[in-house]
Amino acid sequence: MFQKVLASFGQGGATVDAQLLDRHVRPGGTLRGEVRLIGGQVDQEVEALGVTLLARVERGGGNGAEPTLVDMPFQNVHLAGRELVRAGARITVPFEVQMPWETPITTVFGKYLTGMAVGLQTNLNLARTVVDPQDVDAIPIEPVPAQHRVLDAMSRLGFQFRSANLVQDRVDGAEQQLPFFQEVDFAPSPAFAPVFNEVAVTFLARPRDVQVVLDVNKRVRVAKGGGLGGRGRAMVGMFVVEYAALGRTNWEQQIEGWLREVAKPRGIFD
């Protein structure tokens, strides 16, 4: 009887652990794994078992305020419900999660991108039982070839990766499915350092192509009150990379040409 009381407060109850079977996954791909459910000291009824994709996203932060970090779910998979788990039982439940095409990347060649936090949360709900509902595992998400080609072009042009983050917002003029987007931030190359503070790359992938957004923080040459301006001005350009035509374009030349157009002064305050 005492152990049943303990189980009702989450002690001696069933536990879960998710194991990813793939070394990495890509946007639009399938993440495979299994949930290992271990029965507690008493029989318990599972009301629901599932997994959720979570992303740590910046929310708000306008008008100089610091943004708030929130863990935002963006894909759910139900695995089981209304099952009796016997005391001490060991159950393995395989799962597959279809990754949305706009899933942010977290690694490049196995190296994690600073600032990224995307994981798989395992949810176990037991009847009339208070348990820790979260077991979160980081997911290595590699870029699709088109994304990798653009990142490689940025590196070859001399831009240095700084960090990455997720922003709860929408990109104007782009087709977007998720309520947030990723920014991969680069320090400018020596050639552009006098003009740019930073260049951010955003990918909005789709089954046949990826929309690439370049967000440039451009230095202001002269402030209206006199002297050199210290603030930056965001300038955005977008182009589409078709997977089937990926190798037909010199992307270093394409990106550099666009950035040089942005770098040109357009007025006394630019």
Kindly report, residue by residue over 118-137, the tens digit of the pLDDT. Answer: 999 998 887 765 455 556 89
Same domain, 108 and 188: no
User: Do 130 and 15 have their domain in common?
Assistant: yes
Residues 38 and 166 in one domain: no
How sure is the predictor about 1, in pLDDT bands with cuts at 50, 70 and 90? very low
pLDDT tens digits, residue range 191-214? 999 999 999 999 999 999 999 999
CATH code, domain carrying 32: 2.60.40.10
**112 in the same domain as 56:** yes
Q: What is the pTM of this model?
A: 0.87
Q: Is position 268 within any domain?
A: no
Q: Does residue 112 fall inside a structural domain?
A: yes
pLDDT at res. 40:
81
Residue 208 is encoded by which pair of tokens?
């046949």
Whether residue 139 contacts residue 121, with contact meaning beta carbons closer than 8 Å, is answered with no
Give how many domains the chain has, as a whole number. Answer: 2
Provide the domain limits for residue 32: 2-138
